[in-house]
Amino acid sequence: MDIDVRGPRFGAAVTTAALAAVLITGSAWLLAWQTLAFALGAALGVGRSPYGVLFRTAIRPRLGPPRAFEAPEPPRFAQAVGLAFALIGLVGYTVGPGWLGTAATAVALAAAFLNSAFGFCLGCETYLLLRRATAGAG
């Protein structure tokens, strides 16, 4: 079942704010929260992630009907990619080196910002590119 494209974009906006706050404060706790949000989005799908639930219950009822939908697999893959960078960032912030935490968080922030501001999901595009590459290999 396809999903409302506004949901993942809303999630990306919240993620952008959270990751920016991590870079400003250096908070490993906040990055741990975002890591959990990515993990839930990757495991359960973006609609069941914390930001997806917030969108569905508090934001979507106040909006008009969706005009565009997308397959859930690319955003779910993007959550897994975000999870990988958040885990690396968490290691950097908690164990060291600190620059690793900053760099991994900054990469995740850049991807989230591209999606929230411009609707360009880097993880989704990667998923589609990999899917085309594996389909052509068989």
What is residue 1's predicted lDDT score, i.e. its pLDDT? 87
Counted domains in the chain: 1
Peptide bond into 97 cis (omega under 30): yes
pLDDT per residue over 20-37, tens digit each? 999 999 999 999 999 999
Domain that holds residue 67: 3-137
- 137 pLDDT higher than 90: no
pLDDT per residue over 105-115, tens digit each? 999 999 999 99
What is residue 138's predicted lDDT score, i.e. its pLDDT? 61
What is residue 93's predicted lDDT score, i.e. its pLDDT? 97
